[in-house]
Amino acid sequence: MASKMRNPRGNAVAPGGGPTAANTKKAKAAIPGMHRSASKQRVMNMQAYDKEYFDHNLGPGRRSSITAKPKHSLKTIKDSKFSRSYRQIKHKAQDSKTYIINPKDANSVKWDIFMGILIAYSGVTVPLVVCFPGFQNQSDWSTVSTVVDVCFGIDIVRNFVVGYHDERDELVVDHVDIAKKYVRTWFVLDAVSTIPIESIISLIDPQADVSHSYASIQLFRILRVTRIVKLARLAKLRTFFSKAEETFGLNAGVVRLVRLILLVLFVSHLLACFFHLLGQPNDPPSHEPLDNMPDSWLCTADKPKRCLRGETDSVRYLYSLYWVITTLTGVGFGDVIIVTAFEKLYAIFAMIIGASVFGFVIGNISTLLESMDKRAAMYQMKMMLVKDYIRTRNLPVDLRVKLRRYFEHYLSRASLFDESSILGEISLSLRNEIVHETCKDIFQIPAFSLINPQFVMDMAICIKPLFLLAESVIAKEHTVGREMYFLNSGVVAMYNSSLNGKKVLLEVMSENAYFGEASLLYFALRENTFQCITNCDMYTLLKEDFDVLVEEYPETEGILIEFYEQRKRLYQETLNMTVQRYSHDEFKMSKFEDLCPHIKVCYNGKLAAIEQLPMDILKNIDFNIAPKVSLFNSSLAKKVIDQDLTSKSLSAQLAQIIDPNNSKKLQWDVWLGVLILYNVISIPIQVAFQSNTEDPQTLADVIKSDFDIVVDCFFALDILLTFRTAVYDLSGNIVTAPRRIATQYMRMWFWVDFI
């Protein structure tokens, strides 16, 4: 056939043979849609597509070209989706950082807590299984023990993929290093205590548990000894307590006290279990009559009525624990009688353990109690010194109260530790983080937001706490200034006496403010007087430390001077307005008050009208600079605020708040103390000596009388009075708002008093 045949792609096929090289090249050049701008990848794909066709002989003289199944090359297999996924999984498996558990992860911590509970469970149940044959025969306990062993086996596998922190506190994620460390530390202990030896022996000899032959009994005793190895898990509890203390921020003293209590309880439990084992002659229990068994502390021939062998395991364990506790405490009532020589040797051993535990507890309990709250111990010691000083100097009563209140608040807020030595031993970055957290109030001051943060960090180490009571003078005008102040809480007023000796209010400052820097910047005397309006909690920076900081950070001085000059202009503006008002006729000021310029003062660095100040500040400041000359901008505003500050209505007088330092209030508290002492004595007598008969001569009936009703009435009256008694807040300021008083009382003592 002379005509040309075309395959499905439209390429010409020569008669009697395959396409020639020229035809093939020509066919490829004529691919539809192919042009010079086609990408190289597209050309390669089309060529690969053409190669998937080949000539197939259908018969003699005939040759046809049909499509064939694609032949995937090695490169195509490597580029498949499955192969890529396989390579990714293989790469992750070979990577040393893959499948590593962070020991500080939340789920990891939960698992550690769970394993700690299982370790404690093993410490309780293993001695019971070893020493009480009937305990292990209970199917429920056997199932739980199997589940616990499985959990410990999972934990062994998990420990090979749990990272750890090296001596540089870096997380180690290499599988080889993790495995080496685990094998060198806890692996042997975990493996030995987790291997189910008794299950393995039961599989080897299924009749060991039911047979009572001599060999079976010996095997049974061996199984008991092997179970003791599981107690080795308790060694990991120390690590568990350390992790719990670090993760949850627990008090180190409390953790040590809990560990000590658990140690005493575990020793008592262990000694009680083995004391029972000494009194159990048959192991496992046989069907031999009780009369033919040898004597022990459980049962003696001369006292058959007190035989305990027929009792349940719980009763025998209670007797064993009772004997151990009385022996460890040195009491030894003697109602549990030891008989055999082994029991006497065991009693000697228990008494030695008891003496050691008693000496250890007594020697450490005082140290533990002090370490539980070192701050409280230091606080009590300091207050004892203050009280001794007050008694020695024979100070007046009012001065005693002020001094005691000062130190109570100061010691409750100030740091009793040597922070400079603690912070000096750590790195700069860690020290900056700690300082930023402990002194974060200073960073909220607007002026210090423009200063080098490192200057603030270094300054925060140099500052010292200071607490002053209300109406205390912080610094006087025309005196030498050797420190500047940072107000943490409270209200401070700044006065100037340049107006004919009258105190002119220039500024009112509340929390997150600083003052007194002028004397440190200009080496000059104080220009103003600073006085506490309320109890103030602040920090001080000495001039010597300030000079060192400014020398190290010279740009800081210019920023502080600029801020002070801005404040000084506001002070001068306030003073000028006050002088202009004062220049009017004092006797006509009440008539022309509204015509005068509006008086403003600085409030936290900004000018504000007097009426805009908070009511807590207004009620503590004297705004009269002269007779009939007030700082208020109008007589109406003054009248309105005066009515809010001092109400003279009868209802206000009836609702007057009780001063907690009033002498009558103190007498009332003493009387309530006497009534409380009466209840402490009478209530136990009434409960213990109750009579079911109608005999009125019982001691409980004598104590219980109508006087109890009177006492309850006094306590009910005290509850009502407490709702009207002022309290002190955390800053040491007295709180007179009824709502705040009621809220604080309801949160603390109300329910105790009511019940």
DSSP string, 649-704: -HHHHHTPPBPTT-HHHHHHHHHHHHHHHHHHHHHHHHHHT--SS--TTSHHHHHS
pLDDT at 692: 57
Residues 51-58: contacts with CB under 8 Å, at least 24 apart: 53/7, 53/8, 53/9, 55/13, 55/18
Distance between CA atoms of residues 655 and 318, nearest Å: 62
Average pLDDT (619-639) is: 55
pLDDT over 90 for what percent of the chain? 7
Distance CA 129, CA 272 (A): 13
- Is the Cβ–Cβ distance between 601 and 505 less than 8 Å? yes
294 close to 341: Cβ distance less than 8 angstroms: no
Ordered by start, the domain boundaries in the chain are 5-71, 102-248, 251-372, 376-412, 451-592, 653-754
Q: What is the DSSP letter of 508?
A: E
SS3 (DSSP) at 257: helix
pLDDT digits (tens, 9 = 90+) for 459-472: 888 888 888 888 88
Average pLDDT over the chain, rounded to an integer:
74
The answer to whether residue 418 scores a pLDDT higher than 80 is no
CB 549 within 8 Å of CB 459: yes
pLDDT band for 41, please (50, 70, 90 cuts). low
Orientation of helix 106-131 relative to helix 237-248, angle to 10°: 150
- Please tell me the number of Cα atoms within 13 Å of 416 on its side-chain side: 18
Local confidence band at 421 (pLDDT 50, 70, 90 cut-offs): confident
When pLDDT is cut at 50, 70 and 90, the band that residue 20 belongs to is very low
Nearest Cα residue to 317 out of 129, 144, 143: 129
Which fold, 451-592?
Answer: Jelly Rolls (2.60.120)
Separation between Cα atoms, residue 281 and residue 52, nearest integer Å: 89
- Give the contacts of 435 (CB within 8 A, at least 6 positions apart): 423, 457, 460, 461
Least confident of 36-45, 523-532, 548-557: 36-45
CA 412 to chain centre: 20
From the list 612, 615, 604, the residue with the least C-alpha distance to 509 is: 604
pLDDT reported for residue 448:
78
pLDDT single digits (tens) 232-290: 777 778 777 777 777 777 777 778 888 888 888 998 999 998 898 888 755 545 445 55
Do strands 483-489 and 734-735 pair parallel, antiparallel, or not at all (unpaired)?
Answer: unpaired
Q: Quote the pLDDT of residue 240.
A: 78
Q: Of 421, 413, 420, whose CA–CA distance to 379 is shortest?
A: 413
Reading the block at residue 99, the tokens are: 């499948």
The segment with the largest mean pLDDT, out of 34-48, 115-129, 305-319, is 115-129
Helix intervals (H) in 373-478: 374-393, 397-413, 419-423, 428-438, 453-462
The per-residue pLDDT for 511 is 82
Find residue 542's DSSP bridge partners. Answer: 483
Count other C-beta atoms under 10 Å from residue 695's C-beta. 8
pLDDT at 497 over 60: yes
Q: What is the pLDDT of residue 3?
A: 42
Residue 662 CA, distance from chain mean position: 40
Residue 207 is predicted with a pLDDT of: 58
Residue 197 identity (one-letter amino acid): I
User: 600-603 and 606-609: which strand pairing?
Assistant: antiparallel
Q: Please state the rounded mean pLDDT for residues 636-661.
A: 56
Task: Give the class (CATH, top level) of 251-372.
Answer: mainly alpha
Q: Is pLDDT of 65 > 50? A: no
pLDDT at site 543: 92
pLDDT for the residue numbered 321: 92
- pLDDT of 710 above 80: yes
Beta bridge partners of 537: 467, 489
Asked whether residue 53 carries a pLDDT value surpassing 50, the answer given is no
pLDDT in tens, 393-414: 888 877 887 788 788 777 776 6
Greater model confidence, 182 or 209: 182
**From 528-537, 618-627, 721-730, the region with the lowest mean pLDDT:** 618-627
Decide if pLDDT at 439 tops 60.
yes
* Interval 476-496 mean pLDDT: 89
The model scores a pTM over 0.85: no
Residue pLDDT, tens place only, 654-699: 457 787 877 788 889 889 989 889 888 888 877 777 655 555 555 5
For every residue of 551-570, DSSP letters joined together read: HHSTHHHHHHHHHHHHHHHH
Once rounded to an integer, what is the mean pLDDT over residues 716-740? Answer: 79
The answer to whether the CB of 700 falls within 8 A of the CB of 689 is yes
Confidence (pLDDT) at 7? 43
27 pLDDT more than 50: no
Strand partners, 531: 473, 493
Least confident of 41-45, 142-146, 735-739: 41-45
The predicted pLDDT at position 599 comes to 67
